[in-house]
Amino acid sequence: MENENRNAQNGMQLPNPHLAQMTDDNLYHFGISRTSHDLPALFGDVKFVCVGGSARRMENFAHYIGKELGVVSANERLPNLAGNSDRFVLYKAGPVLSANHGIGVPSMSVALHELLKMLFYARSRDVTFIRIGTCGGIGVPPGSVIVSNAAVNGKMEPAFETVVLAKGIHRPIIVDQELASQISSCSRTEDPFKVILGKTYCTDDFFEGQARTHGAVCDISEEDELQFVKHLNSQGVKNIEMESAGFFALCHKAGVKCSVVCVTFIDRLSTEDVTADADVLSEWTQRPQVLVARFIKKRLVISV
Ligand code: URA
């Protein structure tokens, strides 16, 4: 909390004393360094960092939010600011950064560490991070948007488990309830999709880790799958994805506000395979973007 207040007033603060001793810092996976780029000039005005797994989705989001904010014109193409790297992409549309983070917490956390440092060096203030993702749903119609109001790790614990110096450590998963409800309240009765506040189950695997039996190897039965998905349902879990535990825990540790907003591609109570047509998936993928764009415009006091 103390860190959060300082972030609003003095520019982002990070809980890493080693950074103060460094004269340069190579944000290698974005191809940007502290000395090669004027980070305060480039990113000092950033207020929102939107991230998601896929590079193309986050490129599309940058253009979409840019047009919604009136800072990108109809045929304009934004440059990829991470063009020196082929790991992640990075676009800026007014006060919004849009970057991809790949699949799973290990990839996402690399992107998040570097984005946090980028904005720390840029002396950005009062920045909100939002993950815009895709997920499996539980007991909700495919195409629903889930705004996480809780998240648990693969062992169903409210902690992000990682290994440092060969020892397991736990960092608490803290969800900003006010932010989650502000984002979910941007839904409209005329929307062709539901927006649901719910608990997210975060796994380290798409196949057995999410109780699927159709991976390349498998030691669980279809009955195990069914029982487990029913168990998740009974525990109030609304969706399954692969990044929220690390995202919430790292953002909390860094003292920045964050939220996770994902669209469901399937209902795991009835199937395990994502089979909807590409154009249907593409329309569903826009839904969290539409919701988050409304939220950002509301925050920036742009008429919606
Ligand atoms: N992403 C996941 O992690 N799981 C799904 O079922 C769909 C998308």
pLDDT of residue 11: 79
3-state secondary structure 243-254: CHHHHHHHHHHH
Ligand 1 atom index nearest CA of 272: 6
Instruction: Determine contact, residues 239/262, Cβ cutoff 8 Å.
Output: yes
Ligand 1 atom index nearest CA of 242: 3
Does residue 304 form part of some domain? no
Average pLDDT score over residue span 189-208: 98
Nearest 10 degrees: Cα torsion 179, 16, 58, 80: 140
Instruction: For tokens 């826009």, name the residue.
Output: 286
Give the side-chain half-sphere CA count within 13 A for 116. Answer: 24
Most distant pair of Cα atoms in the chain: their distance: 57
Could you give the CA distance from residue 168 to residue 160 in angstroms, rounded to a whole number?
Answer: 10
Strand partners, 100: 52
Residue 30: pLDDT over 70: yes
Ligand 1 atom index nearest CA of 264: 7
Task: Using the mean position of ligand 1's atoms as its centre, give its distance from the Cα of residue 113 in Å.
Answer: 23
Which CATH number characterizes residue 149's domain? 3.40.50.1580
Instruction: Determine contact, residues 10/4, Cβ cutoff 8 Å.
Output: no
In the DSSP assignment, the letter for residue 283 is H
Instruction: For tokens 């000039």, name the residue.
Output: 41
Does residue 184 form part of some domain? yes
- Binning pLDDT at 50, 70 and 90, where does residue 6 land? low
| Ligand 1 atom 8: residue of nearest CA | 135
| Ligand 1 atom 3: residue of nearest CA | 241
Nearest 10 degrees: Cα torsion 62, 184, 303, 53: 0
Does residue 133 form part of some domain? yes
Ligand 1 atom index nearest CA of 136: 6
Strand partners, 49: 97, 129
By most ligand atoms within 8 Å of CB, the mutation choice from 266, 268, 270, 273 for ligand 1 is: 266
Q: What share of the chain is helix, strand, coil (3-state, %, to 5)?
A: 35, 25, 40
The pLDDT tens digits for 218-275 are 999 999 999 999 999 999 999 999 999 999 999 999 999 999 999 999 999 999 999 9
By most ligand atoms within 8 Å of CB, the mutation choice from 210, 229, 263, 285 for ligand 1 is: 210
Read off the tokens for 140.
């909700």
Does residue 63 form part of some domain? yes
DSSP string, 152-197: E-TTS-SEEEEEETTEEEEEE----HHHHHHHHTT--TT-SS-EEE
Residue 7: pLDDT over 80: no
Task: Using the mean position of ligand 1's atoms as its centre, give its distance from the Cα of residue 241 in Å.
Answer: 5
Task: Using the mean position of ligand 1's atoms as its centre, give its distance from the Cα of residue 145 in Å.
Answer: 13
Give the total number of structural domains in the chain: 1
Instruction: Determine contact, residues 268/240, Cβ cutoff 8 Å.
Output: yes
Separate counts of helices (H) and strands (E) for the chain: 8, 12
Q: Which amino acid is at 212?
A: R
| Ligand 1 atom 5: residue of nearest CA | 136
Ligand 1 site residues, Cβ closer than 6 angstroms:
134-136, 206, 210, 240-242, 265-266, 274
- Binning pLDDT at 50, 70 and 90, where does residue 4 land? low
3-state secondary structure 220-231: CCHHHHHHHHHH
Q: What is the pTM of this model?
A: 0.96
The pLDDT tens digits for 133-153 are 999 999 999 999 999 999 999
Read off the tokens for 6.
């300082």
Does residue 30 form part of some domain? yes
Which residue range is the domain that position 179 belongs to?
A: 2-299
Could you give the CA distance from residue 166 to residue 287 in angstroms, rounded to a whole number?
Answer: 41
Strand partners, 147: 197, 261
Ligand 1 atom index nearest CA of 265: 7
